Amino acid sequence: MKNKAEQNISLIVVRYGESDANRNNIISDRNVDHKLTDIGVQQAQKTADLLKNEPINIIVTSTRQRAQLTASIINEYHGECY
């Protein structure tokens, strides 16, 4: 049995799916919370499917809607982990 110092930890970094700003070539400022497009939701669902068998214990995300929705879609396979 491995002790805590010997356990492997993996970090998976995922960017949110396509947003309205991405589609319209808008460089967004911090005060605008652009939503995911339908394509962005599909991208998040594909990412979730690719990660469904990965052990994920915690999801950390920004407060932006697009990031929250992407995380929520990925989390569907992992239960409450963020």
Q: Which of 14, 32, 11, 12 is nearest to 22 (CA)?
A: 32
Q: At what angle do helices 38-51 and 65-75 cross, to 10 degrees?
A: 40
pTM above 0.85, yes or no: no
Rounded Cα–Cα distance for residues 56 and 74 (Å):
10
| Close Cβ partners of 52 (under 8 Å, ≥ 6 residues apart) | 77
Q: How confident is the model over 21-44, as pLDDT tens digits?
A: 888 888 876 788 889 999 999 999
Helix (H, G, I), strand (E, B) or coil at 73: helix
- pLDDT of the residue at 13: 93
